[in-house]
Amino acid sequence: MSAQTPSKRLTTRDISAMRQRGEAIAMLTAYDATMASLVESAGVDMILIGDSLGNVVLGHETTLPVTLDDMIRHASAVKRGSRRALLVCDMPFGSVTDPQIAVQNAVRVMKETGVEAVKIEGGLAVVPMVEMLVAQGIAVMAHIGLMPQSVHQMGGYYMHGKDEASAARLRAEAKALEAAGAFAIVLECVTPALAADITRALTIPTIGIGSGKDCAGQVLVVNDLIGLSVTPPPSFAKPRADVAAIIRAAVGDYVADTKAERQPIPMPRRAE
């Protein structure tokens, strides 16, 4: 069956086959059933239930406050709204601090949400966690480069791989994570030339975000893609719509009509 057959949910084998064919992989985030259904109907191959929900849904400044319960609640909703896309759930900050804890928490995610895979941020330090999860039958997407869960340790948000030492480290991390059994790897804010080099060096798909056009696939925060935000999107995300403006206009019309169509309602008279 083709990886594009709509009657079945995509698997990690389908994603691998897309990479082998040279077919680009389209991935977006979603945090609820409605958005999952919409992006899936438009043809995305994978949906990431990202801990970015901390920023775009829960109103936090970073992803760090997001809990495992938050991820499970939103991933379960996405599962209910999806039929075809492969679903990947972020493991939030503090949930994979050692292999045993990683297994315990990832098993809970898999059991309670029904997603097909989990995603873990980190380089060489998380290789033992990836190996342990894969040994337990859990599909893992890795994530290197800019890692929002490590924003304070890294000292902010910036492009990675600009110098040779950083580039060498990222190359080594990518190869080690592939060897550990990750089925794909996110490259976030990695210099485009380095992202292209890493992509050519791996057999597993690279999924870029802010890392140029030469990765095997692309992921974006859906709110950035459709302009559903009250703050400017990152520089690499070019909104394809202005949904926020549509909402403001629709609500503004509703408020104006509500106030214009109703006469003042007298208060009941008080008993003398």
The count of other CB atoms within 10 Å of the CB of residue 261 is 7
Catalytic one of 131, 178, 188, 272: 188
Gap between the Cα atoms of 136 and 255, Å rounded: 54
Question: Cα–chain-centroid distance for residue 163?
Answer: 27
Gap between the Cα atoms of 147 and 187, Å rounded: 9
Please check if 52 is assigned to a binding site: yes
Taking a C-beta distance cutoff of 8 angstroms, is the pair 157, 151 a contact?
yes
Please check if 90 is assigned to a binding site: yes
The count of other CB atoms within 10 Å of the CB of residue 227 is 18
Is 188 catalytic? The answer is: yes
Please check if 51 is assigned to a binding site: yes
Closest CA to 171 of 239, 225, 237, 124: 124
Q: Which residues are annotated as a binding site?
A: 51-52, 90, 119, 121
List the binding residues for 3-methyl-2-oxobutanoate: 51-52, 90, 119
- Binding-site residue numbers for Mg(2+) are 51, 90, 121
Catalytic residue positions, numbered:
188
